[in-house]
Amino acid sequence: MPLEPAAVNYYDLLQINPHAEIETIERVYRILAGRYHPDNQATGDAEKFRVLSDAYQILRDPAKRAEYDKQFQVSPAGPLAIFLGREFADGIDSEAKIRIGVLCLLYSKRRANPDFGALSLLDMENIMAFPRERLLFALWYLRAKRFVVQDDRSSFIISAEGVDYLESQLPTNQILYKIFRASESGVMVYPKALTSKTT
């Protein structure tokens, strides 16, 4: 029986490579489960623990993982809700917010999965729901400032300069926290994540 279409990127949630061995999955799960278990007084989070346990149950079983991977490749999630709001569409500073949004996505992607830390322009279109022309302007600026670079597949990766800039903005830019919460909750699904080595 096929799995329900994936709403969560389990690989990004566990911060592992999509080609990770079962030993790696088990080791990372034990660490995160200990951190988010409801009995942990300091960092417990029952909902996050439940989602982590769901991810572990799927990824540790070869048949379930194969089915998940198959659906994961063809069932990308829609755009993140935060990018559908007015603050990204209206106002003189909307272009600056789009640039910050791109950097946040690339930061989260790189942090969650260093070996596959890139996003293509198509990935960004799907996640942010902006016309390609607006993203191209943002990416031109970010490249010119050396905050992003392109890999050999023309996908985009945040640079060390981009990380430094983004982290310097954290104390004063509330929208960063909103984007980080949305992107790190595991709801970003990247259709190319599992095929990066072969495309």
Domain ranges of the chain: 10-74, 81-195
The pLDDT value recorded for residue 9 is: 78
Q: Which two tokens stand for residue 60?
A: 């540790």
Rounded to whole angstroms, the Cα distance separating 59 from 128 reads 28
Residue 29's pLDDT is what? 92
Fold category of 10-74 in CATH: Helix Hairpins (1.10.287)
pLDDT band of residue 87 (cuts 50, 70, 90) is confident
- Tally of CB atoms within 10 A around 199: 9
What is the reported pLDDT for 78?
Answer: 67
Question: Looking at the chain, how many residues does it have?
Answer: 199
pLDDT value of position 82: 81
CATH of region 81-195: 1.10.10
- Those residues with Cβ within 8 angstroms of residue 100's Cβ, 6 or more apart along the chain or in another chain: 166, 169, 173, 175, 176, 179
Q: Quick one: average pLDDT of 77-83?
A: 75
Burial class (CB in 10 A: 0-12, 13-18, 19+), 186: buried
pLDDT of residue 62: 93
Token couple for 68: 């998940």
3-class DSSP state of 169: helix
Pair 33, 53: CB distance under 8 Å: yes
Secondary structure class of 149 (helix, strand, coil): strand
Q: How confident is the model at residue 172 (pLDDT cuts 50, 70, 90)?
A: confident
pLDDT digits (tens, 9 = 90+) for 103-147: 998 998 888 777 778 888 888 888 888 888 889 999 999 999 999
Given this model, what pLDDT does residue 117 score? 81
Amino acid identity of 46? Answer: A
Least confidently predicted of 85-99, 153-167, 175-189? 175-189
Average of pLDDT values for 20-44? 90
Instruction: Locate 192 and state its tokens.
Output: 């190319």
Q: Which residues pair with 97 in a beta bridge?
A: none
CA dihedral 137, 197, 20, 125 (to 10 degrees): 20
pLDDT digits (tens, 9 = 90+) for 50-67: 999 999 999 999 999 998
Nearest-5° angle of CA 152, CA 190, CA 127? 105
Q: How far is 119 from 178, CA to CA, in rounded Å?
A: 20
- pLDDT bracket for residue 73 (50, 70, 90): low
Compute how many other C-beta atoms are within 10 angstroms of the C-beta atom of residue 6.
19
pLDDT at 198 over 60: no
pTM of the model: 0.59
